[in-house]
Structure 1
Amino acid sequence: MILFPAIDLKDGSCVRLLKGEMDKATVFNTSPADQARLFKDAGCEWLHVVDLNGAFAGKPVNAEAVEQILAVMGPDVPVQLGGGIRDRATIDLWLEKGIRRVILGTVALRHPELVIDACKAHPGRIAVGIDARDGMVAVEGWAETSEMTAVDLALKFEDAGVAAIIYTDIDRDGALQGPNVEATAALAARLTTPVIASGGVASIDDLKVLKARQDTGIVGVISGRALYDGRIDLAEALAVLKG
């Protein structure tokens, strides 16, 4: 199972939100590139980056910070990026710049055909981010909750060639209350597409519980706040998930 350390970008800094609220942001590093270097030096195999401002604006906002992260990571550590990527031109641009995998969220609900076309053009390089509140998909930087369930949205892309579904339980995100393992495992079990768990990871025990459900199709886990505040030791986490 792969650990994806998270760098969430707001106003050029590395932050974590509480349950997706932009006004509840804690700044952990004013240099996202330095933070990326720390993760790389620790032996991380992937990096998860979100342009939070972009998610609300509907277009990339923290592009400079993303490019600095890419320069640090180089070709050795792949980066997946989400937030404000809502048209084909932006998808193509980021993939050309060196992003290994683009995450499509709001547009997956609004314009699923774009996801399908992007998967055909860029095999293995498109992920779908499904963020749910009480099981219902939330979009526009989590500001709006739709009337579609997370499972129904994921099933739309079963045959599209999506590299992964990144499933976030919004009410757990940044709250350090543990991931919603049952909902994540239930989603993964319904799909052939690999699932990456996100939201609420607070301890090594949380990682062990997720790894124990790997057979459902959970292939990775994203962690942010718990890594930043020391609740999870990065070296130990990497060892547990590889073990």
Structure 2
Amino acid sequence: MFDEYEVIPAVDMQEGEVVQLVQGERGTEKRYGDPAEAARRWVEAGARTLHLVDLDGAFEGERKNAPAVEAVLETVDGEATVQLGGGIRTAEDAIGLLDRGVDRVILGTAAVENPEIVREVSDEYANSVMVSLDAKGGEVVVSGWTEGTGLDPAEAAARYEELGAGAILFTNVDVEGQLEGVKTGPVERIADAVGIPVVASGGVASLDDVRALKAAGASAVVVGTALYEGSFTLEAVIDAVA
């Protein structure tokens, strides 16, 4: 899935616009314009994968940014891999998106509530499911990071690998969107627990953070706020981990 370590720009969407939230809290968002324009900019800067999240879907359980997703797919047109999450609650939803041209679907709440959905989608599209494990205080949280599950992220990751997940997306909500740096310990635990790629997200503020996550065993890192706020350019961070 990832032949070498990748830096993946985030295109988080709310009400048809790119936004970044602090610790996943609604009302903290800062807006960054049109998703298709952002996608084009990141692809032109060297992104091989784009990370799309329908935040309205994540919070409300129903995808609300489908037109923006369509615009991104048309804009990218195969020039980069597209992974999409947020509001995907059924296998039919996931398979429909894969049929449409999304390369990977990200399942979070749906995978926690019905783990067999991972197997069902993977049987149709091998290595197409990325299970999202978002953690607050060491506990997996769902429904837009608002509900605790009691699950340990590393144990959950191993379970989803057995069910056919092609990758794990781990977001440390405790540091998400704050530009205060990453915590590598949880990433290392998950990477040690599974043989599939682990994609890290949350807290990246510097090139050193990106390098640290690579050293912790991540196969890729999702970067949002730091790119949109100009802490570094995508070209610079790609060069830094080459």
Q: What band does the TM-score fall into relative to the shorter chain?
A: over 0.9
Within the candidate set 115, 124, 142, 1:139 is matched to: 142
What do you get for the CA RMSD once the two structures are aligned? 1.0
Which residue pairs with 1:158 in the alignment? 161
SS state at 2:48 partner: coil
- Whole-angstrom CA distance in 2 between matches of 1:186 and 1:151: 6
Give the partner amino acid of 1:237.
Answer: V
Deviation at 1:149, TM superposition (A): 1.2
What is the CA-CA distance between 1:59 and the residue it aligns to? 1.7
In the alignment, the residues of structure 2 paired with residue 73 and residue 210 of structure 1 have an alpha-carbon distance, to the nearest angstrom, of 27
Q: Deviations over 1:128-176 (max 9, x none)?
A: 0000001101001111111111122112122233121000010111011
Matched residue of 1:166: which SS?
strand
Conservation of the 8 A alpha-carbon contact between 2:205 and 2:231: yes
Long gaps (5+) in structure 2: none
Structure 1 residue 98: Cα displacement: 0.8
State whether structure 2 residue 46 is matched by structure 1 residue 43: yes
Mapped to 2, the partners of 1:197 and 1:90 lie a distance apart of 25
How big is the shift at 1:233?
A: 1.6
Give, in whole Å, the separation in 2 of the partners of 1:158 and 1:90. 21
* Aligned-partner residue type, residue 79 of structure 1: V
* Cα drift, residue 236 of structure 1: 0.9
For 2:95, give the aligned amino acid. Answer: D
**Percent identical:** 38
2:219 is aligned with 1:219: yes
TM-score, L = length of structure 1:
0.95
* Aligned positions, number: 238
CA displacement at 1:94 relative to structure 2: 0.8
**2:34 is aligned with 1:34:** no
Q: Which has the higher strand share?
A: 1
3-state SS in 2 of match to 1:207: helix
Which segment drifts farther, 13-22 or 156-165?
A: 156-165
Aligned residue among 5, 21, 28 for 2:25:
21
Corresponding residue for residue 234 of structure 1: 234
The one-letter code sitting in structure 2 at the alignment partner of 1:156 is R
State the distance in 1 between where 2:156 and 2:166 align: 15
Deviation string 1:77-96 (CA, Å, 9 cap, x unpaired) is: 11000000010111111111
The normalised TM-score by structure 2 is 0.96
Counterpart of 2:32 in 1: which secondary structure?
A: strand
Give the letter aligned to residue 236 of structure 2: E
Q: Which residue pairs with 2:181 in the alignment?
A: 178
Q: 1:200 aligns to what?
A: 203
Cα distance in 1 between the residues matched to 2:139 and 2:214: 25
- Structure-1 separation of matches of 2:124 and 2:95: 9
Q: What are structure 1's unaligned runs of at least 5 residues? A: none
**2:108–2:132 Cα contact (<8 Å) kept:** yes
Structure 1 segment 104-143 matched on structure 2, within 5 A: 104-143=107-146
